[in-house]
Structure 1
């Protein structure tokens, strides 16, 4: 809960792909939601990809209702039905700020 409520940089959750801070300010933390609150607010195209073929299911500008991101959908590319937007938290988020592009050592 501290990572979700604090504004300190070391205590925030950020997208691994675009480095954007997760913003749950529109949510009431501690209440019960019937959908995945982390995946209901995608910030970049990487979070909108199929779990099977890794092609975007939606365009970044397209939006759905919050709870719709937790429903099973058919990928328009590979036709696999899955809950494509639900991904493991460590796959999408980190507590550390990384540069968007890192150079090889």
Structure 2
């Protein structure tokens, strides 16, 4: 069974498991299926906006697909969430990505 099928099977038992959803989106990215990955990230963040790790990957995906303003918004939201959670490691990663994108 491939990883996507395996993750989907796990999600049948735990449909709101954010870790599994995040992992599924990353698998879609590996397959260059940005549309599927984006859908999973957006659904995950709509349900659990505090899942800070997904903002970075969503932002990178949006950058890659040429959606600069949406990527900036994802990084900004992620920085806000990370700051509120006092997750400075995530905050610094998001800030670095944000600055790389906005300093051009």
Same fold per TM (> 0.5)? no
- Look at both structures and tell me which one has the larger radius of gyration over its CA atoms: 1
Give the TM-score category using the shorter length.
under 0.3
Q: Which has the higher contact order (CA 8 A, sep 6+)?
A: 1
TM, length-normalised to structure 1: 0.25
Greater strand share, structure number: 1
TM, length-normalised to structure 2: 0.25
Greater helix share, structure number: 2
